[in-house]
């Protein structure tokens, strides 16, 4: 990782300040996001997970707090679709170029639409995957939005 991940390379290229936070990933962890929040000692509301869904057949990236769940209907509404379902793992990995548990919303292989939950607006900083299991990037919410070209919508539920 001498040159960083695609996500950190993109942030550097854009001149976006960030910090990297590494933790030891446990293969037995049931939830990658909750594991990250616990390992880093930060509130789960500040750590965001990246999920890939299919909205009317179009892969879409959803970024929601690890403390909540993705509301598929709200995601479909946010991108003007009718029906959303979680994407198949293999399709998500092919489209993003990242492995499950290390999917970053930043610098994905394909330029998928990105929707970030509106709870991001009230935060000073957020954590999301830097593109590897056990590696999170911390940055300002506005910088995450800039780096991903995301739209903001209420897509999470507790």
Domain 6-157 belongs to what topology?
A: YbaK protein (3.90.960)
Please tell me the pTM assigned to this model.
Answer: 0.93
Domain extents for the chain? 6-157
Determine the distance from the C-alpha atom of residue 5 to the mean position of all C-alpha atoms in its chain, rounded to a whole number.
14
**pLDDT tens track, the chain, 158 positions:** 446 899 999 999 999 999 999 988 777 666 777 888 888 999 999 999 999 999 999 999 999 999 899 999 999 999 999 999 999 999 999 999 999 889 999 999 999 999 999 999 989 999 999 999 899 999 999 999 999 999 999 999 98
**CA torsion through residues 45, 110, 148, 2, sign:** positive
Distance CA 137, CA 110 (A): 20
């Amino acid at each position: 990782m001498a040159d960083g991940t695609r996500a950190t390379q993109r942030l550097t290229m854009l001149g976006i300040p960030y910090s990297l936070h590494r933790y030891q990933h446990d293969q037995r962890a049931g939830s990658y996001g909750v594991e990250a929040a616990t390992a880093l000692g930060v509130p789960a509301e500040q750590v965001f997970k990246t999920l890939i869904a299919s909205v009317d057949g179009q892969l879409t990236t959803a970024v929601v707090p690890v403390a909540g769940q993705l509301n598929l209907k709200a995601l479909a509404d946010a991108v003007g679709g009718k029906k959303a379902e979680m994407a198949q793992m293999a399709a998500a990995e092919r489209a993003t170029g990242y492995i499950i548990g290390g999917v970053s919303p930043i610098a994905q292989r394909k330029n998928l639409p990105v929707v970030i939950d509106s709870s991001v607006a009230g935060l000073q900083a957020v954590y999301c995957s830097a593109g590897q299991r056990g590696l999170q990037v911390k940055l300002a919410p506005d910088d995450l939005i800039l780096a991903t070209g995301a739209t903001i919508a209420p897509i999470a539920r507790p």
